[in-house]
Amino acid sequence: MTIPSGENAAQDSEDAALATLRRDFAGHRIWRSTRHDGKPGDWVATLHDPGMGVDATVMQPSPDELRASLEAEARRAQERRSL
């Protein structure tokens, strides 16, 4: 078994975070933006199912912050449905 290190480990961790976010928030298209210098940028979620959120696009600097924002979006959508 090979243990990833350095850049490979960071990429594997980001890939896993992306896969988990996509699984947990299927009503959004989730992706990583690219900065002007070609490096990875913000974490982005674009709403595809209006029942799963309110804002069309959510951007955060980390996967954990994006998760928190998408959880808040889900609560907002639920509140809107119950009106």
Q: What is the pLDDT of residues 48-62, one digit of tens each?
A: 999 999 999 999 999
Q: What is the pTM of this model?
A: 0.85
Residue 3's contacts (CB-CB under 8 Å, 6 or more residues apart) are none
Q: What is the pLDDT of residues 15-71, one digit of tens each?
A: 999 999 999 999 999 999 999 999 999 999 999 999 999 999 999 999 999 999 999
* pLDDT at residue 4 in the model: 54
Integer Cα distance of 77 and 64 in angstroms: 20
The overall longest dimension of the chain from CA atoms, in Å, is: 54
